[in-house]
Amino acid sequence: MRRFRRLRGSEAMRKLVRETRISAEEMIYPIFIIEGENIKNPIASMPGVYQYSIDRMDELLEKVKAAGIAGVLIFGIPAEKDEVGSQAYHPNGITQRAIRHIKENYPELLVIADVCLCEYTSHGHCGLVDGCHILNDETLPLLAKMSVTLAEAGADIIAPSDMMDGRVGAIREALDENGFKNIPIMAYSAKFASGYYGPFRDAAHSAPQFGDRRSYQMDVANKREALREIADDIEEGADMYIVKPALAYLDVVEAAAQRFDLPIAVYNVSGEYAMVKAAAQMGWIDEKRIVMENLIAMKRAGATILITYHALDVAKWLKEA
Ligand code: PBG
Ligand code: ZN
């Protein structure tokens, strides 16, 4: 008789035949850096996540380094916003200064720089606006300029999340022209217009002041279109791509993994994190078990890289195991 249970008899046996594993070195931890001094602001909807000012960042970075996490995905929150997001591409903007601080003090950590205007614009949209229309082609030079300033500050990877068409090509060209031929692009290629970004917009002060992002982020119903977006970004020069959010989109991750041979990152976003934390705080679920199960599911679907707010907790659990 075929007995599947033969290979389930002990933890040692189960570990031997395990098909999917999680490690700290494939995880990226998103961080929020805010203008000002001596700030460590808790984010109500994301328990355990804080906004830090640059002078308090070390507290966090020491933990990330000790945990063996691959790197950080950085989001800057400027003191001033305007129509055109000037602080996004200012050589001494909050994000550029934070990147310099990390690379000077923690050279072994990978710094992934998110490229988008929404944290820096007064209207909170990811591109320039004309009335209630979000402009595509006019936004591209600003994203390209922002990418160059982030690379100059020391970013190891450029990650455009704006969802304007043609941005990967525009950014690749600008990086190449400015001496950054070897800086890879991790494109948020399949980024859906999702309700799961709510807590992030509190953390990054990036909620749109009018309308929503449905004219540039993807419709949640579309899987084949996601594959076209990814194919297009690869053609424009993406070295890796992101599927975002994670859990409700694992079918997209799996289909993409079968079709393309580039590394895939999944972004386990703020709303997914908030749901797990809330249920755990109520005592309704076993947090560690649920988080590990969720992350394993992402890897099983085909993810190479996990971008997750759970990274510090997971690294700690892995060490205990
Ligand atoms: C900005 C950006 C967003 C996220 C990452 N980059 C928010 C958005 O598009 O509204 C979401 C991350 C999260 O929810 O954890 N373009
Ligand atoms: Zn944005």
The closest residue, in CA terms, to atom 11 on ligand 1 is 197
Cα separations in angstroms, 32 against 10, 167, 303: 42, 24, 24
- Dump pLDDT digits (tens) for 282-305: 999 999 999 999 999 999 999 999
User: With bands split at pLDDT 50, 70 and 90, how would you rate the model's confidence at 256?
Assistant: very high
Q: Cα–Cα distance between 97 and 269 in angstroms, integer?
A: 25
Closest by CA position to 289, among listed 279, 300, 302? 279
Among all bound ligands, the one having the nearest atom to the CA of 127 is 2
Task: Please indicate whether residue 117, judged by its CB atom, sits closer than 6 Å to ligand 1.
Answer: no
- C-alpha 197 to ligand 1 mean position (Å): 6
To the query of whether residue 319 is one of the catalytic residues in this protein, the response is: no
Q: For the CA atoms of the chain, what is the radius of gyration?
A: 20
pTM for this prediction: 0.97
Average pLDDT, the chain: 97
What 3-state DSSP class applies to 161?
A: coil
Q: What is the 3-state secondary structure (H, E, C) of 277-302?
A: HHHHHCCCCCHHHHHHHHHHHHHHHC
Closest by CA position to 98, among listed 145, 31, 143, 39? 31
Run of H or E including 140:
helix 140-153
The closest residue, in CA terms, to atom 2 on ligand 1 is 161
Average pLDDT over residues 125-136: 96
User: With bands split at pLDDT 50, 70 and 90, how would you rate the model's confidence at 321?
Assistant: confident
From the candidates 81, 191, 277, 299, give the one annotated as an active-site residue: 191
Give backbone dihedrals phi and psi of 69, rounded to 5 degrees, phi first.
Answer: -70, 145
Run of H or E including 274:
helix 270-281
Task: Please indicate whether residue 114, judged by its CB atom, sits closer than 6 Å to ligand 1.
Answer: yes
- C-alpha 267 to ligand 2 mean position (Å): 14
Task: Please indicate whether residue 266, judged by its CB atom, sits closer than 6 Å to ligand 1.
Answer: no
Pocket test for ligand 1, best of 269, 276, 277 (most atoms within 8 A of CB): 269
Pocket test for ligand 1, best of 192, 197, 209 (most atoms within 8 A of CB): 197
- C-alpha 245 to ligand 1 mean position (Å): 9
Q: How far apart are the first and last CA of the chain?
A: 34
Q: Which amino acid is at 315?
A: A
Q: Is 9 exposed, middle or buried (0-12, 13-18, 19+ CB in 10 A)?
A: exposed
- C-alpha 262 to ligand 2 mean position (Å): 24
pLDDT of residue 270: 98
User: With bands split at pLDDT 50, 70 and 90, how would you rate the model's confidence at 232?
Assistant: very high
User: With bands split at pLDDT 50, 70 and 90, how would you rate the model's confidence at 76?
Assistant: very high
Average pLDDT over residues 272-279: 98
Task: Please indicate whether residue 200, judged by its CB atom, sits closer than 6 Å to ligand 1.
Answer: yes
- Dump pLDDT digits (tens) for 164-207: 999 999 999 999 999 999 999 999 999 999 999 999 998 999 99
To the query of whether residue 316 is one of the catalytic residues in this protein, the response is: no
Task: Please indicate whether residue 163, judged by its CB atom, sits closer than 6 Å to ligand 1.
Answer: no
- C-alpha 201 to ligand 1 mean position (Å): 7
Q: Cα–Cα distance between 308 and 298 in angstroms, integer?
A: 11
pLDDT of residue 210: 95
From the candidates 81, 244, 277, 299, give the one annotated as an active-site residue: 244
Q: Cα–Cα distance between 250 and 291 in angstroms, integer?
A: 15
Is the alpha carbon torsion for 317, 264, 156, 121 positive or negative?
Answer: negative
Task: Please indicate whether residue 161, judged by its CB atom, sits closer than 6 Å to ligand 1.
Answer: yes
